[in-house]
Amino acid sequence: MTTPTTISTDPHEAAVEQAEQEAAKAEQLLAALEERVRDGDEQVTAQQLADARELGRFAKLRAEAARRKAERAAAQAAERERQHTTERALALLAEHSPRTLATKYAAARDALAAFIVASDAFDAAVTEAAALLRSAGAPQCAGSPEDMQGPPASPTAPRWYFALSGATVHLGGDDVRHADGAAARLAVLLDDLDRAAGIRKAGDAPEFTRAPIIEQAHRARGALRPQLDRLADAPKESAK
C-alpha cells in the first residue's frame, strides 16, 4: 500500500522537506557508487566518489540551512503572536479600568448609604406610628384573641403590634409595614443580585461573608413588610 505524500503549505517547511530529500538522494548516490566499487566495477572513478561525497555534504548543509531558516521564521511568527495576544490583553484592561470600577463602587456605596438612611427612617416611622396607635387604644394586629378584637385593619383604622423583631402597623389588606431593619433588606437585595448575575468570589477566597448573607436573606425573604423586592419589580411585571 502506497503511503500518500503530505504536501506542506508552509513554504519554510516545504523548503526543509525538499532539502532533506536532496540530501537523502545524494547519500543514496554515494552509497550506490561505493557498492559498485566493492562489486569490482572499474568504471567508477575516484573523482566520481569524491564528487558524490561533496554533493552529499553540500546537500546536508543546505538541509541544515533550510531547517535553521524555518526555525527562525517560526520563532518570529511566535513572537508576533505573543505581541498580538499581549495587545489584546492590554486592550481588555484598558476597556475595564480600575477608575471606572471605582466610580461604580462609589455610586453603589452612596446608593446603599442612602438606602440605609431611608430604611432606618422607615423603621423609625413604623415604630413611632405603632407607639401612637397603642397610646390611642387601637387594637393589635397580632397577639391574643382578646388583643385582636374589633373590625379588621383598614387605612382609617390601622392596627399595631410590637414583637422582638420590631414594630408592625397593619393598614388593611396587604399593606403591612414592619420595622424589619436595614440588614434584612440588604441581605435580600444582595441575594437578588446573586440570583440575577452571580456574585463571583475570587479564586480560593473564603465565602464566610456570603453564607451569613444568604442565610439571613432566606429568613427575611417573603417576611419583609413591605416586600421591597416585589414592589421594585412591580413596574416591570405590569409592563410585560
What's the residue count for the chain?
240
What pLDDT sits at residue 122? 95
* Closest residue by Cα to residue 169 from 135, 220, 125, 119: 125
What pLDDT sits at residue 203? 61
Spell out the domain ranges in the chain.
Answer: 11-95, 98-239
166-170 and 176-178 beta bridge pairing = antiparallel
Q: DSSP labels for 171-216?
A: -STT-EEE---HHHHHHHHHHHHHHHH--PPPTT---TTHHHHHHH
Contact 190, 196 (CB under 8 A): no
Q: How many CB atoms lie within 10 A of CB 188?
A: 24
User: For residue 19, what is its C-alpha cell?
Assistant: 532539502
Residue carrying C-alpha cell 409595614: 177
pLDDT tens, N- to C-terminus, the chain (240 residues) = 455 555 556 776 777 777 677 777 777 877 876 777 788 778 878 887 787 777 777 777 777 887 888 888 888 999 999 999 999 999 998 888 888 888 888 898 899 999 999 999 999 999 999 999 999 999 998 877 777 788 889 999 999 999 988 899 999 998 999 998 998 888 888 878 777 776 666 565 444 355 666 676 776 766 666 666 676 666 554 444
Q: Which residues contact 116 (CB under 8 A, 6 or more apart)?
A: 182, 186
Contact 141, 168 (CB under 8 A): yes
Q: DSSP labels for 59-88?
A: HHHHHHHHHHHHHHHHHHHHHHHHHHHHHH
* Ramachandran assignment for 149, one of left (phi > 0), alpha (psi -120 to 50 degrees), beta (any other): beta
Q: Which residues contact 19 (CB under 8 A, 6 or more apart)?
A: 59, 62, 63, 65, 66, 67
DSSP-derived 3-state class of residue 235: helix
